[in-house]
Amino acid sequence: MLKLSKLAAALALTLAAGAASAGEVEVLHWWTSGGEAKSVGELKKIMQAKGHTWKDFAVAGGGGDNAMTVLKSRVVAGNPPAAAQIKGPAIQEWANEGVLANLDPVAKAEQWDSLLPKVVADVMKYKGNYVAAPVNVHRVNWMWANAAVLKKAGVAAAPKTWDEFFVAAEKVKKAGLIPVAHGGQNWQDFTTFEDVVLGVGGPKFYQDALVRLDPKALNSATMTKVLETFRKIKSYTDPASPGRDWNLATAMVIQEKAAFQFMGDWAKGEFTAAGKVPGKDYICAAAPGTGNAYTFNVDSFAMFKLKDATAQKAQGDLAAAIMGPEFQEVFNLNKGSIPVRLNMKMDKFDDCAKLSSKDFVDTAKTGGLVPSAAHGMAISPAAEGAIKDAVSQFWNNDKISVADGVKNIAKAAATK
Protein backbone atom coordinates (compact mmCIF):
# COMPACT_ATOMS: atom_id res chain seq x y z
CA MET A 1 0.00 0.00 0.00
CA LEU A 2 2.76 2.31 1.09
CA LYS A 3 4.69 1.35 -2.01
CA LEU A 4 1.72 2.18 -4.19
CA SER A 5 1.17 5.61 -2.71
CA LYS A 6 4.89 6.34 -3.09
CA LEU A 7 4.57 5.39 -6.73
CA ALA A 8 1.53 7.59 -7.14
CA ALA A 9 3.36 10.49 -5.51
CA ALA A 10 6.34 10.00 -7.82
CA LEU A 11 4.03 9.82 -10.79
CA ALA A 12 2.25 13.01 -9.73
CA LEU A 13 5.60 14.74 -9.44
CA THR A 14 6.68 13.62 -12.89
CA LEU A 15 3.39 14.75 -14.39
CA ALA A 16 3.67 18.10 -12.64
CA ALA A 17 7.19 18.52 -13.98
CA GLY A 18 5.93 17.62 -17.46
CA ALA A 19 3.12 20.11 -17.21
CA ALA A 20 5.48 22.79 -16.00
CA SER A 21 7.70 22.44 -19.05
CA ALA A 22 4.79 22.41 -21.50
CA GLY A 23 3.71 25.82 -22.67
CA GLU A 24 1.39 27.43 -25.10
CA VAL A 25 2.69 28.73 -28.39
CA GLU A 26 0.62 31.22 -30.25
CA VAL A 27 1.81 31.24 -33.85
CA LEU A 28 0.91 33.93 -36.34
CA HIS A 29 0.94 32.92 -40.01
CA TRP A 30 -1.02 33.39 -43.22
CA TRP A 31 -1.15 29.78 -44.35
CA THR A 32 -4.86 29.28 -44.94
CA SER A 33 -5.15 27.67 -48.40
CA GLY A 34 -5.63 23.89 -48.68
CA GLY A 35 -1.95 23.02 -49.17
CA GLU A 36 -0.74 25.65 -46.71
CA ALA A 37 -3.13 24.58 -43.95
CA LYS A 38 -2.01 20.96 -44.34
CA SER A 39 1.62 22.06 -44.07
CA VAL A 40 1.21 24.16 -40.94
CA GLY A 41 -0.88 21.33 -39.46
CA GLU A 42 2.31 19.23 -39.46
CA LEU A 43 4.09 21.78 -37.27
CA LYS A 44 1.14 21.83 -34.92
CA LYS A 45 1.27 18.02 -34.64
CA ILE A 46 4.99 18.07 -33.80
CA MET A 47 4.50 20.72 -31.12
CA GLN A 48 1.54 18.87 -29.62
CA ALA A 49 3.60 15.68 -29.51
CA LYS A 50 6.11 17.60 -27.38
CA GLY A 51 3.25 18.39 -24.99
CA HIS A 52 2.75 22.03 -25.97
CA THR A 53 -0.53 23.71 -26.73
CA TRP A 54 -0.74 25.20 -30.21
CA LYS A 55 -2.75 28.39 -30.45
CA ASP A 56 -3.36 29.06 -34.10
CA PHE A 57 -3.24 32.70 -35.13
CA ALA A 58 -4.00 32.52 -38.86
CA VAL A 59 -4.64 35.76 -40.72
CA ALA A 60 -5.92 35.04 -44.23
CA GLY A 61 -4.42 36.88 -47.18
CA GLY A 62 -1.77 35.51 -49.54
CA GLY A 63 1.63 37.16 -49.35
CA GLY A 64 1.03 38.13 -45.72
CA ASP A 65 0.19 41.86 -45.87
CA ASN A 66 -2.90 41.43 -43.67
CA ALA A 67 -0.95 39.27 -41.23
CA MET A 68 1.75 41.95 -40.89
CA THR A 69 -0.85 44.65 -40.16
CA VAL A 70 -2.43 42.53 -37.43
CA LEU A 71 1.00 41.68 -36.01
CA LYS A 72 1.93 45.35 -35.70
CA SER A 73 -1.20 46.15 -33.72
CA ARG A 74 -0.62 43.21 -31.36
CA VAL A 75 2.99 44.21 -30.70
CA VAL A 76 2.09 47.88 -30.21
CA ALA A 77 -0.55 46.77 -27.70
CA GLY A 78 2.20 44.94 -25.78
CA ASN A 79 0.70 41.55 -26.50
CA PRO A 80 2.85 39.83 -29.13
CA PRO A 81 2.32 36.21 -30.16
CA ALA A 82 5.08 33.72 -29.26
CA ALA A 83 6.08 33.38 -32.89
CA ALA A 84 5.24 35.06 -36.18
CA GLN A 85 6.02 34.42 -39.82
CA ILE A 86 8.46 37.23 -40.58
CA LYS A 87 10.85 37.13 -43.49
CA GLY A 88 13.86 38.75 -45.10
CA PRO A 89 14.86 42.35 -44.33
CA ALA A 90 11.73 42.76 -42.15
CA ILE A 91 13.46 40.51 -39.58
CA GLN A 92 16.10 43.20 -39.11
CA GLU A 93 13.47 45.90 -38.69
CA TRP A 94 11.64 43.95 -35.99
CA ALA A 95 14.86 43.04 -34.21
CA ASN A 96 15.85 46.69 -34.28
CA GLU A 97 12.71 47.46 -32.26
CA GLY A 98 14.14 45.25 -29.52
CA VAL A 99 11.12 42.94 -29.41
CA LEU A 100 12.62 39.69 -30.72
CA ALA A 101 14.00 36.89 -28.56
CA ASN A 102 17.56 35.64 -28.94
CA LEU A 103 17.48 32.08 -30.31
CA ASP A 104 21.22 31.45 -29.95
CA PRO A 105 20.92 28.84 -27.18
CA VAL A 106 18.85 26.58 -29.49
CA ALA A 107 20.80 27.52 -32.61
CA LYS A 108 24.13 26.68 -30.92
CA ALA A 109 22.87 23.42 -29.39
CA GLU A 110 21.43 22.33 -32.75
CA GLN A 111 24.41 23.66 -34.76
CA TRP A 112 22.38 25.80 -37.16
CA ASP A 113 25.50 27.48 -38.54
CA SER A 114 26.61 24.22 -40.08
CA LEU A 115 23.10 23.23 -41.23
CA LEU A 116 22.20 26.36 -43.19
CA PRO A 117 23.48 28.05 -46.33
CA LYS A 118 25.33 31.17 -45.12
CA VAL A 119 23.11 33.51 -47.17
CA VAL A 120 20.11 32.19 -45.26
CA ALA A 121 21.78 32.18 -41.83
CA ASP A 122 22.77 35.82 -42.27
CA VAL A 123 19.15 36.85 -42.84
CA MET A 124 18.07 35.00 -39.68
CA LYS A 125 20.64 36.84 -37.53
CA TYR A 126 20.57 40.29 -36.02
CA LYS A 127 23.95 41.58 -34.85
CA GLY A 128 25.30 38.05 -35.02
CA ASN A 129 22.51 36.42 -32.98
CA TYR A 130 19.79 34.21 -34.39
CA VAL A 131 16.38 35.83 -34.02
CA ALA A 132 14.43 33.73 -36.54
CA ALA A 133 14.20 30.09 -37.58
CA PRO A 134 14.02 29.32 -41.32
CA VAL A 135 11.42 26.91 -42.62
CA ASN A 136 11.98 26.32 -46.31
CA VAL A 137 13.11 27.62 -49.65
CA HIS A 138 10.37 28.56 -52.10
CA ARG A 139 11.21 29.23 -55.71
CA VAL A 140 9.09 32.06 -57.03
CA ASN A 141 9.89 32.06 -60.77
CA TRP A 142 7.71 29.11 -61.71
CA MET A 143 5.13 28.72 -64.42
CA TRP A 144 2.48 26.06 -63.78
CA ALA A 145 0.64 24.49 -66.68
CA ASN A 146 -2.20 22.03 -67.06
CA ALA A 147 -1.00 19.19 -69.33
CA ALA A 148 -4.47 18.35 -70.72
CA VAL A 149 -5.20 21.98 -71.59
CA LEU A 150 -1.89 22.34 -73.43
CA LYS A 151 -2.68 19.17 -75.37
CA LYS A 152 -6.18 20.38 -76.25
CA ALA A 153 -4.75 23.67 -77.49
CA GLY A 154 -1.98 22.00 -79.49
CA VAL A 155 0.87 23.37 -77.38
CA ALA A 156 3.61 20.75 -77.56
CA ALA A 157 5.84 21.90 -74.68
CA ALA A 158 6.04 24.52 -71.95
CA PRO A 159 7.24 27.78 -73.56
CA LYS A 160 10.81 28.75 -72.71
CA THR A 161 10.82 32.38 -73.89
CA TRP A 162 8.22 35.14 -73.73
CA ASP A 163 7.82 34.99 -77.54
CA GLU A 164 7.06 31.27 -77.32
CA PHE A 165 4.76 31.99 -74.43
CA PHE A 166 2.60 34.41 -76.41
CA VAL A 167 2.33 31.92 -79.29
CA ALA A 168 1.13 29.29 -76.80
CA ALA A 169 -1.26 31.72 -75.08
CA GLU A 170 -2.82 32.56 -78.46
CA LYS A 171 -3.43 28.86 -79.16
CA VAL A 172 -5.08 28.38 -75.76
CA LYS A 173 -7.32 31.37 -76.40
CA LYS A 174 -8.34 29.96 -79.81
CA ALA A 175 -9.20 26.67 -78.10
CA GLY A 176 -11.70 28.62 -75.97
CA LEU A 177 -9.82 28.34 -72.68
CA ILE A 178 -8.23 30.94 -70.41
CA PRO A 179 -4.51 31.28 -71.18
CA VAL A 180 -3.42 32.78 -67.83
CA ALA A 181 -5.08 32.19 -64.45
CA HIS A 182 -4.27 35.38 -62.57
CA GLY A 183 -5.24 36.47 -59.12
CA GLY A 184 -5.61 40.23 -59.32
CA GLN A 185 -4.14 41.31 -56.00
CA ASN A 186 -1.19 43.68 -55.81
CA TRP A 187 1.29 41.09 -54.50
CA GLN A 188 0.31 38.67 -57.27
CA ASP A 189 0.69 41.38 -59.91
CA PHE A 190 4.15 42.03 -58.44
CA THR A 191 4.98 38.31 -58.47
CA THR A 192 4.28 38.13 -62.21
CA PHE A 193 6.12 41.42 -62.74
CA GLU A 194 9.34 40.20 -61.15
CA ASP A 195 9.21 37.10 -63.38
CA VAL A 196 9.07 39.41 -66.38
CA VAL A 197 11.93 41.58 -65.09
CA LEU A 198 14.02 38.44 -64.68
CA GLY A 199 12.94 36.85 -67.97
CA VAL A 200 13.36 39.94 -70.12
CA GLY A 201 16.39 41.48 -68.42
CA GLY A 202 18.24 38.50 -66.93
CA PRO A 203 19.62 38.10 -63.38
CA LYS A 204 22.06 41.03 -63.53
CA PHE A 205 19.34 43.44 -64.66
CA TYR A 206 17.00 42.01 -62.00
CA GLN A 207 19.62 42.70 -59.31
CA ASP A 208 20.16 46.24 -60.59
CA ALA A 209 16.47 47.08 -60.90
CA LEU A 210 14.76 45.23 -58.05
CA VAL A 211 17.50 44.67 -55.47
CA ARG A 212 19.86 47.65 -55.81
CA LEU A 213 16.97 49.86 -57.05
CA ASP A 214 19.38 51.54 -59.45
CA PRO A 215 17.58 54.48 -61.18
CA LYS A 216 19.51 53.82 -64.39
CA ALA A 217 18.16 50.28 -64.66
CA LEU A 218 14.69 51.36 -63.55
CA ASN A 219 14.51 54.00 -66.29
CA SER A 220 16.15 51.91 -69.01
CA ALA A 221 14.88 50.69 -72.37
CA THR A 222 14.88 47.17 -70.88
CA MET A 223 12.33 48.33 -68.33
CA THR A 224 10.16 49.64 -71.17
CA LYS A 225 10.31 46.19 -72.75
CA VAL A 226 9.42 44.65 -69.37
CA LEU A 227 6.30 46.78 -69.03
CA GLU A 228 5.20 46.09 -72.60
CA THR A 229 5.54 42.35 -71.99
CA PHE A 230 3.79 42.60 -68.62
CA ARG A 231 0.82 44.43 -70.17
CA LYS A 232 0.60 41.87 -72.96
CA ILE A 233 0.30 39.07 -70.39
CA LYS A 234 -2.72 40.82 -68.91
CA SER A 235 -4.53 40.57 -72.21
CA TYR A 236 -4.51 36.79 -71.74
CA THR A 237 -6.18 36.84 -68.31
CA ASP A 238 -9.95 36.59 -67.75
CA PRO A 239 -12.14 39.55 -66.74
CA ALA A 240 -12.97 37.97 -63.37
CA SER A 241 -9.37 38.07 -62.16
CA PRO A 242 -9.45 41.29 -60.04
CA GLY A 243 -9.36 40.45 -56.36
CA ARG A 244 -9.06 36.69 -56.91
CA ASP A 245 -7.02 34.72 -54.35
CA TRP A 246 -3.93 32.97 -55.66
CA ASN A 247 -5.16 29.49 -54.73
CA LEU A 248 -8.38 30.04 -56.69
CA ALA A 249 -6.23 30.89 -59.69
CA THR A 250 -4.32 27.65 -59.12
CA ALA A 251 -7.65 25.83 -58.93
CA MET A 252 -8.49 27.11 -62.42
CA VAL A 253 -5.36 25.39 -63.74
CA ILE A 254 -6.08 22.24 -61.73
CA GLN A 255 -9.65 22.12 -63.06
CA GLU A 256 -8.59 22.51 -66.70
CA LYS A 257 -10.19 25.94 -67.05
CA ALA A 258 -6.89 27.74 -67.60
CA ALA A 259 -3.53 26.80 -69.09
CA PHE A 260 -0.92 28.70 -67.07
CA GLN A 261 -0.29 30.39 -63.74
CA PHE A 262 2.76 32.39 -62.69
CA MET A 263 3.24 31.71 -59.00
CA GLY A 264 5.79 30.48 -56.49
CA ASP A 265 5.83 26.80 -55.62
CA TRP A 266 3.32 27.14 -52.81
CA ALA A 267 0.99 26.61 -55.83
CA LYS A 268 2.38 23.08 -55.98
CA GLY A 269 0.98 22.53 -52.49
CA GLU A 270 -2.48 23.00 -54.04
CA PHE A 271 -1.78 20.52 -56.85
CA THR A 272 -0.46 18.05 -54.26
CA ALA A 273 -3.48 18.51 -51.98
CA ALA A 274 -5.72 17.85 -55.03
CA GLY A 275 -3.85 14.58 -55.69
CA LYS A 276 -2.31 15.80 -58.97
CA VAL A 277 0.97 14.43 -60.28
CA PRO A 278 3.69 16.59 -61.84
CA GLY A 279 4.74 15.54 -65.34
CA LYS A 280 1.37 13.83 -65.82
CA ASP A 281 -1.44 16.17 -64.77
CA TYR A 282 0.55 19.34 -64.65
CA ILE A 283 3.90 20.78 -65.65
CA CYS A 284 6.25 22.91 -63.59
CA ALA A 285 8.66 24.98 -65.65
CA ALA A 286 10.71 28.08 -64.98
CA ALA A 287 8.86 31.22 -66.07
CA PRO A 288 9.82 32.14 -69.68
CA GLY A 289 13.39 33.36 -70.01
CA THR A 290 14.28 32.46 -66.40
CA GLY A 291 15.55 28.89 -66.73
CA ASN A 292 19.04 29.93 -65.64
CA ALA A 293 17.81 31.86 -62.63
CA TYR A 294 16.10 31.33 -59.29
CA THR A 295 14.13 33.86 -57.26
CA PHE A 296 14.26 32.57 -53.71
CA ASN A 297 11.77 33.14 -50.92
CA VAL A 298 12.66 31.75 -47.50
CA ASP A 299 9.83 31.53 -44.97
CA SER A 300 10.86 31.94 -41.36
CA PHE A 301 9.48 32.41 -37.88
CA ALA A 302 10.74 35.05 -35.50
CA MET A 303 10.04 34.66 -31.78
CA PHE A 304 8.97 37.54 -29.57
CA LYS A 305 10.40 38.24 -26.12
CA LEU A 306 8.09 36.70 -23.54
CA LYS A 307 8.45 36.80 -19.75
CA ASP A 308 6.99 33.44 -18.79
CA ALA A 309 9.63 30.66 -18.52
CA THR A 310 7.36 27.88 -19.84
CA ALA A 311 6.45 30.05 -22.81
CA GLN A 312 10.16 30.58 -23.47
CA LYS A 313 10.76 26.85 -23.30
CA ALA A 314 7.95 26.29 -25.81
CA GLN A 315 9.52 28.88 -28.13
CA GLY A 316 12.84 27.08 -27.98
CA ASP A 317 11.12 23.77 -28.78
CA LEU A 318 9.32 25.41 -31.69
CA ALA A 319 12.58 26.79 -33.08
CA ALA A 320 14.27 23.38 -32.73
CA ALA A 321 11.31 21.61 -34.33
CA ILE A 322 11.31 23.99 -37.32
CA MET A 323 14.93 23.20 -38.08
CA GLY A 324 14.57 19.48 -37.29
CA PRO A 325 14.82 16.97 -40.16
CA GLU A 326 11.39 15.47 -39.46
CA PHE A 327 9.58 18.79 -39.88
CA GLN A 328 11.78 19.96 -42.76
CA GLU A 329 10.75 16.89 -44.75
CA VAL A 330 7.06 16.53 -44.01
CA PHE A 331 6.31 20.26 -44.10
CA ASN A 332 8.03 20.85 -47.41
CA LEU A 333 6.48 17.78 -49.05
CA ASN A 334 3.12 19.45 -48.45
CA LYS A 335 4.10 23.07 -48.97
CA GLY A 336 5.71 22.74 -52.40
CA SER A 337 9.01 24.18 -51.22
CA ILE A 338 12.32 22.44 -50.48
CA PRO A 339 14.05 22.03 -47.10
CA VAL A 340 16.30 24.91 -46.10
CA ARG A 341 18.36 22.54 -43.94
CA LEU A 342 21.37 21.32 -45.91
CA ASN A 343 22.07 17.69 -46.80
CA MET A 344 18.48 16.51 -46.51
CA LYS A 345 17.52 13.43 -48.54
CA MET A 346 15.29 14.37 -51.46
CA ASP A 347 14.09 10.86 -52.38
CA LYS A 348 10.50 11.45 -51.22
CA PHE A 349 10.24 14.71 -53.17
CA ASP A 350 8.78 15.03 -56.68
CA ASP A 351 10.58 16.14 -59.85
CA CYS A 352 9.64 19.83 -59.41
CA ALA A 353 11.24 19.89 -55.96
CA LYS A 354 14.29 18.00 -57.23
CA LEU A 355 14.68 20.54 -60.04
CA SER A 356 14.28 23.37 -57.54
CA SER A 357 16.93 21.84 -55.31
CA LYS A 358 19.37 21.38 -58.21
CA ASP A 359 18.74 24.86 -59.62
CA PHE A 360 19.16 26.44 -56.18
CA VAL A 361 22.67 25.02 -55.96
CA ASP A 362 23.57 25.64 -59.62
CA THR A 363 22.33 29.23 -59.80
CA ALA A 364 24.18 30.09 -56.60
CA LYS A 365 27.38 29.37 -58.54
CA THR A 366 26.46 31.26 -61.71
CA GLY A 367 24.96 34.42 -60.20
CA GLY A 368 21.43 33.44 -61.19
CA LEU A 369 20.25 33.11 -57.58
CA VAL A 370 18.36 36.29 -56.69
CA PRO A 371 16.10 37.29 -53.80
CA SER A 372 12.39 37.70 -54.53
CA ALA A 373 11.40 41.36 -54.29
CA ALA A 374 7.70 40.56 -54.34
CA HIS A 375 8.08 38.23 -51.34
CA GLY A 376 9.97 40.33 -48.89
CA MET A 377 13.46 39.01 -49.61
CA ALA A 378 15.19 41.87 -51.38
CA ILE A 379 14.31 45.35 -50.21
CA SER A 380 12.85 47.22 -47.25
CA PRO A 381 9.13 46.69 -46.64
CA ALA A 382 8.53 50.41 -47.41
CA ALA A 383 10.17 50.27 -50.86
CA GLU A 384 8.53 46.92 -51.56
CA GLY A 385 5.09 48.29 -50.73
CA ALA A 386 5.55 51.38 -52.90
CA ILE A 387 6.80 49.43 -55.94
CA LYS A 388 4.06 46.85 -55.49
CA ASP A 389 1.43 49.60 -55.63
CA ALA A 390 2.95 51.25 -58.72
CA VAL A 391 3.20 47.90 -60.52
CA SER A 392 -0.36 47.02 -59.61
CA GLN A 393 -1.73 50.39 -60.73
CA PHE A 394 -0.06 49.91 -64.09
CA TRP A 395 -1.46 46.38 -64.38
CA ASN A 396 -4.98 47.51 -63.52
CA ASN A 397 -5.18 50.68 -65.55
CA ASP A 398 -4.54 50.35 -69.27
CA LYS A 399 -4.73 54.13 -69.59
CA ILE A 400 -1.35 54.50 -67.86
CA SER A 401 1.18 54.60 -70.70
CA VAL A 402 4.26 52.38 -70.60
CA ALA A 403 6.44 55.49 -70.28
CA ASP A 404 4.45 56.70 -67.26
CA GLY A 405 4.44 53.21 -65.78
CA VAL A 406 8.25 53.14 -65.95
CA LYS A 407 8.45 56.59 -64.31
CA ASN A 408 5.99 55.67 -61.54
CA ILE A 409 7.85 52.48 -60.66
CA ALA A 410 11.22 54.26 -60.62
CA LYS A 411 9.77 56.95 -58.36
CA ALA A 412 8.25 54.36 -56.01
CA ALA A 413 11.64 52.61 -55.78
CA ALA A 414 13.09 55.75 -54.20
CA THR A 415 10.79 55.31 -51.15
CA LYS A 416 12.79 55.00 -47.95
Should residue 63 be labelled a site residue for ligand GAL when binding is judged by CB under 6 A?
yes
* Interface pick for ligand GAL out of 25, 43, 47, 64 (rule CB under 6 A): 64
Please answer whether residues 295 and 210 qualify as being in contact, where contact means their C-beta atoms are separated by less than 8 angstroms.
Answer: no
The DSSP output letter for 368 is -
| Closest by CA position to 250, among listed 289, 199, 291, 284 | 284
- DSSP β-bridge partners for residue 262: 143
* Interface pick for ligand GAL out of 94, 193, 266, 294 (rule CB under 6 A): 266
From the list 60-68, 125-133, 210-218, 404-412, the region that binds ligand GAL by CB under 6 A is: 60-68
Q: Least distance (Å) from ligand GAL to the CB of residue 58?
A: 11
Q: Least distance (Å) from ligand GAL to the CB of residue 30?
A: 6
Decide: residue 17, CB within 10 A, 0-12 exposed, 13-18 middle, 19+ buried. Answer: exposed
* Interface pick for ligand GAL out of 138, 182, 268, 341 (rule CB under 6 A): 138
* Interface pick for ligand GAL out of 185, 261, 290, 297 (rule CB under 6 A): 297
In our burial notation (b when 16+ CB lie closer than 10 A, e otherwise), range 55-84 reads eebebebbbbbebbebbeebbeeeebbbbb
Q: x/- binding map, residues 20-49, to ligand GAL, per CB under 6 A?
A: ----------xx----x-------------
CA contacts within 13 A on the Cβ side of 112 = 28
Q: Least distance (Å) from ligand GAL to the CB of residue 237?
A: 19
Should residue 193 be labelled a site residue for ligand GAL when binding is judged by CB under 6 A?
no
| Closest by CA position to 297, among listed 160, 187, 386 | 187
Binding to ligand GAL in span 299-338, by CB under 6 A? 299
Nearest to ligand GAL of 84, 227 (CB atom): 84
- Please tell me the count of residues contacting ligand GAL according to CB under 6 A: 12
| Closest by CA position to 87, among listed 67, 113, 114 | 67
Should residue 57 be labelled a site residue for ligand GAL when binding is judged by CB under 6 A?
no
Should residue 270 be labelled a site residue for ligand GAL when binding is judged by CB under 6 A?
no
Nearest to ligand GAL of 30, 260 (CB atom): 30
Should residue 62 be labelled a site residue for ligand GAL when binding is judged by CB under 6 A?
yes
Please answer whether residues 228 and 220 qualify as being in contact, where contact means their C-beta atoms are separated by less than 8 angstroms.
Answer: no
Should residue 134 be labelled a site residue for ligand GAL when binding is judged by CB under 6 A?
no
Contacts of 281 (CB under 8 A, 6+ apart): 146, 147, 148, 254, 271
Should residue 375 be labelled a site residue for ligand GAL when binding is judged by CB under 6 A?
yes
Please answer whether residues 270 and 34 qualify as being in contact, where contact means their C-beta atoms are separated by less than 8 angstroms.
Answer: yes
- DSSP β-bridge partners for residue 369: 294
Q: Least distance (Å) from ligand GAL to the CB of residue 140?
A: 8
Q: Residue with CB nearest ligand GAL?
A: 62
**CA–CA gap between residue 7 and residue 141 (Å, rounded):** 60
Chain positions contacting ligand GAL, by CB under 6 A: 30-31, 36, 62-64, 138, 246, 266, 297, 299, 375
